[in-house]
Structure 1
Amino acid sequence: MKLTDSPAHRHDPLLYLQLGALVASTGDSTFAEQMFELVGDLVPMHRLDLSEWTLDSQQTRIQAVKVLGSAGHPQAVNTRPLRHPLLQSIMRMEDPLLIQINTPVGAQGDAHQCKLVSRSGNRRWVICCFRQPTQRGFSLAELSLLKTLSDTLLPLVEHHAQLLQAGGQRRPGQLLPDEAGTLRQLFADRLEQEAIRLSSREQEVCIGLLTGDTVPQLALRLHVKNSSIETYLKRATAKLGVSGRHGLARWLAGR
């Protein structure tokens, strides 16, 4: 299951809409809030923190931690530091990680945590989800869903960090998430950057899916059959070099 699937493995128009807003908000102060809204609708939590870790050249310690954004309730409970084995796992990781830290029964004030981590060289990008200690810890089903979501979310966090490093400069013509035409402009920018030509119908289908339309809704609006919408999507994703609906979001983010 990918980000553009709901937990019930069905097309969820709201999830597409939230995903479009999240992609459009990379490099903006609303990015963490957009991610908190999207992920929190699927896996309840009270807070989400985004950060970038820089390791020293020997990768034996954390040299610096840069906060990339936070959303949800203010930090009202303790967050226990990573134990040595978990920290070493992050230091030596090759593939994306999921680290679960549940509060022991009877512990006071410590939040349940789930950390999603990706890497590139001596950098680590971390999404940390918190749940109140009075609530149950993250279930196996929720952890599995978060791990699947990380395939799309972690590249977006890295892209967000790069934009912040560049001074928050947005690409020419890029608009804020709440402005009309944001996704359409982003999509057009990416097509131009990659020198890819899509037909007008192929573009309409891609943008429609990213902004929350279902296949039947698109078919009705474009006066074609549902099967025609699927055909336009297959042609478009083939030209973009991605697979299925979920690939559109990662391509749009430059990943």
Structure 2
Amino acid sequence: MNRTSSILNLESARFYHELGELVLNVGQQHFAEGLYRLVTQLVPVNAVELSEWTVDDRQGRVVDIRLMGGAGEPEDIPPPSNVRHPSEHPLSKDILEMDHPLLIQVNARPAVAGRPRSHAEYHQCCLVSLKSNRRSLISLYRPLHQKTFSLTELSFLKSLSETLLPLIERHAQITRQSLQKLGTWLPNPAAENELTSLQRDFKERLALCDITLSVREQEVCLGLLNGGTVPEMAEKLCVKNSSIETYLKRAAAKLGVSGRHGLAKWMVGTPVPMQA
């Protein structure tokens, strides 16, 4: 029996139960975990990441990448892509040129000694939907030491994407609407210029101190500076509270600060010793 047959002969009741649970979780925090469980029943993957891209068709560039959650084995979840601008993302060319739903395969590259772990060290299969100026992505990962996605697996995932992509489009729409209702974690949700200014100042301060934070670490630091709480940031970023706490701890260790007050002092250039 070939791989396709074995996949399609999976116990249907189990598959449709998971699919039903996934439909019920559209727009919810656990959607990524449900999608991960469903996919791993069919094709072995170690991690799943969901994202929504916004493109400017007139200028031919990616203007925003919004992460909508992820799931998988903690040690196998790739770190967030640390690019300075969305258009610098390795997938941006494919995303901008697509005119129909797409499957993108990227084979892993060996790690470079002395450099942080990155997405490039994982085999990737990305299922991409197209709707107006938005692209919804389901990114599936395997670490370098495992086999690349086979042609049979890619063919099956392409077929499965006809079911999954409408769900992630709906998930993206619901979470986007929820964020609009919540505003942001800013005291004044309409003050978008203040957030832009803060982002710029924060990046300049990082560059001055020669410190590199991941995208997630930067997001939680900005959220903290804007008065956001851990639950609010978890809701906005579609992750668990514990994940926000982990990002904050990592950022604090790199910056040498402790808490909101210490972070604020660091922003204005005041030396802040770590609390014992």
2:107 aligns with 102
Question: What residue identity is the alignment partner of 1:48?
Answer: V
Instruction: Indicate yes or no: 2:98 matched with 1:93.
Output: yes
Cα deviation, residue 166, structure 1: 2.1
Deviations 1:208-249 (A, max 9, x none): xxxxxxxxxxxxxxxxxxxxxxxxxxxxxxxxxxxxxxxxxx
1:146 aligns with 157
Deviations 1:125-183 (A, max 9, x none): 000000011111111111111111100101100101111122189xxxxxxxxxxxxxx
Residues 33 and 6 of structure 1: CA distance in aligned 2, closer, same or farther (over 3 Å): farther
Residues 29 and 122 of structure 1: CA distance in aligned 2, closer, same or farther (over 3 Å): same
Distance, in Å, in 1 between the alignment partners of 2:29 and 2:78 is 24
CA contact (8 A) 2:47 2:77 kept: no
CA contact (8 A) 1:6 1:12 kept: no
Equivalent residue pairs, number:
164
Question: What residue identity is the alignment partner of 2:127?
Answer: L
Instruction: Indicate yes or no: 2:176 matched with 1:165.
Output: yes
Question: What residue identity is the alignment partner of 2:41?
Answer: D
| 65-74 vs 79-88, which moves further | 79-88
Cα deviation, residue 88, structure 1: 2.5
Residues 113 and 10 of structure 1: CA distance in aligned 2, closer, same or farther (over 3 Å): closer
Cα deviation, residue 10, structure 1: 6.3
Question: What residue identity is the alignment partner of 1:71?
Answer: A
CA contact (8 A) 2:55 2:62 kept: yes
- Aligned match of 1:131 in 142, 145, 153? 142
Under a length normalisation based on structure 1, what TM-score does the superposition of the two structures give?
0.57
CA contact (8 A) 1:27 1:168 kept: no
Residues 111 and 90 of structure 1: CA distance in aligned 2, closer, same or farther (over 3 Å): same
CA contact (8 A) 2:36 2:72 kept: yes
CA contact (8 A) 2:78 2:122 kept: yes
Distance, in Å, in 1 between the alignment partners of 2:10 and 2:139 is 26
RCO higher in 1 or 2 (8 Å CA, sep ≥ 6)?
A: 1
Q: How does 1:1-255 map to 2 (within 5 A)?
A: 7-9=7-9, 12-74=12-74, 77=78, 87-104=92-109, 106-107=110-111, 110-167=121-178
Residues 66 and 57 of structure 1: CA distance in aligned 2, closer, same or farther (over 3 Å): same
Percent same amino acid at aligned positions?
43
Distance, in Å, in 1 between the alignment partners of 2:8 and 2:71 is 26
Deviations 1:45-68 (A, max 9, x none): 111000000012425221011111
- What is the root-mean-square deviation in Å for CA atoms of aligned residues? 2.8
Residues 77 and 53 of structure 1: CA distance in aligned 2, closer, same or farther (over 3 Å): closer
Cα deviation, residue 85, structure 1: 8.9
Under a length normalisation based on structure 2, what TM-score does the superposition of the two structures give?
0.53
Residues 100 and 127 of structure 1: CA distance in aligned 2, closer, same or farther (over 3 Å): same
Residues 6 and 54 of structure 1: CA distance in aligned 2, closer, same or farther (over 3 Å): farther
Distance, in Å, in 2 between the alignment partners of 1:85 and 1:76 is 18
1:249 aligns with none
Cα deviation, residue 6, structure 1: 6.8
Residues 95 and 163 of structure 1: CA distance in aligned 2, closer, same or farther (over 3 Å): same
- Point out where structure 1 has 5 or more consecutive residues left out of the alignment: 170-255
